């Protein structure tokens, strides 16, 4: 009952069909928050794609300038030559074959897995475990690299992965409600710009149809795209 009352308060005086200036929308989400935990700010972008056509799907990684506010556990599987570089840049766990054996037993206690190219043949045997979870190292996502230190630093400082769903929507957490408004706005603009630049050559005309932001327990507000460019 209390939750229902709070939702009514959140929706009061809001026009859900309006296109909001992004800064105005961020302020509204802050003002309308009624929970005691630090909510995540989520962005959803509806794309003008046919996800059944491989050449129209997009995926990649984006480094948010103000971070995500989330603590990310990073594991590195590499040769001993890179151990020091990984640890100095904040890796939570560093190792070699012994970590692959751990993964094969379904012991996964990390959010991101980074590997050097020489370890990929050995990692192949746990691809069926890592793949469905979306954490199999991939050169296109920057998680298979010889630049181990940089990859760890990027992952720790606010890197988010994106991939469109079958419905053609891309979504991600771009910060916490406790961030100041300008920092949330900068992350939002960075995310929007990166998605826009990912437009496949096969797409003609407008690529992004709609942009919406919401807090974890809040309402979704449509954003005026012209203010993000």
pLDDT value of position 7: 62
Model-wide pTM > 0.85: no
Domain boundaries, the chain: 15-58+164-227, 74-157
- Give the relative orientation of helices 181-197 and 22-32 as an angle to the nearest 10 degrees: 130
Distance of CA 96 to the CA centre of its chain: 27
pLDDT value of position 141: 86
pLDDT value of position 68: 93
pLDDT value of position 8: 66
- What is the Cα–Cα distance from 5 to 27, expressed in whole angstroms? 21
Helix H or strand E encompassing 62? strand 59-63
Residues lower than pLDDT 50 in the chain: none
CATH of 15-58+164-227, one of 3.40.50.720, 3.30.190.20, 1.10.1040.10, 3.20.20.120: 3.30.190.20
At the second CATH level, the architecture of 74-157 is 3-Layer(aba) Sandwich (3.40)
Place of tokens 């990692």: 123
pLDDT value of position 11: 66
pLDDT value of position 229: 85
pLDDT value of position 16: 82
- What is the Cα–Cα distance from 143 to 136, expressed in whole angstroms? 8
Q: Is the dihedral of CA 110, 116, 118, 124 positive or negative?
A: positive
Look at residue 24 and give its three-state secondary structure. Answer: helix
- Please indicate whether the domains covering 15-58+164-227 and 74-157 agree at the CATH topology level: no
pLDDT value of position 4: 67
């Amino acid at each position: 009952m209390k939750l229902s009352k709070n939702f009514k308060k959140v929706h009061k005086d809001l026009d859900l069909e309006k296109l909001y200036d992004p800064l105005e929308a961020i302020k509204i989400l802050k003002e309308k928050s009624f929970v005691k935990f630090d909510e995540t700010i989520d962005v959803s972008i509806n794309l003008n794609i046919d996800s059944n056509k491989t050449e129209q799907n997009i995926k990649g990684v984006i480094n948010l300038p103000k971070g995500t506010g989330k603590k990310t556990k990073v594991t590195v599987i590499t040769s001993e030559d890179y151990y020091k570089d990984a640890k100095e840049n904040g890796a939570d766990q560093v190792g070699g074959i012994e970590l692959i054996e751990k993964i094969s037993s379904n012991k996964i206690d990390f959010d991101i897995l980074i590997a050097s190219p020489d370890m990929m043949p050995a990692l192949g045997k746990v691809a069926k475990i890592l793949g469905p979870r979306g954490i199999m190292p991939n050169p296109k996502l920057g998680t298979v690299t010889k630049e181990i230190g940089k990859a760890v630093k990027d992952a720790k400082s606010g890197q988010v992965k994106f991939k469109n769903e079958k419905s053609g929507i891309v979504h991600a957490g771009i910060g916490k409600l406790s961030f100041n408004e300008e920092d949330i706005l900068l992350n939002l603009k960075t995310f929007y710009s990166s998605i826009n630049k990912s437009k496949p050559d096969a797409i003609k005309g407008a690529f992004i149809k709609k942009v919406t932001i919401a807090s974890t327990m809040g309402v979704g507000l449509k954003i005026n795209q012209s203010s993000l460019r």
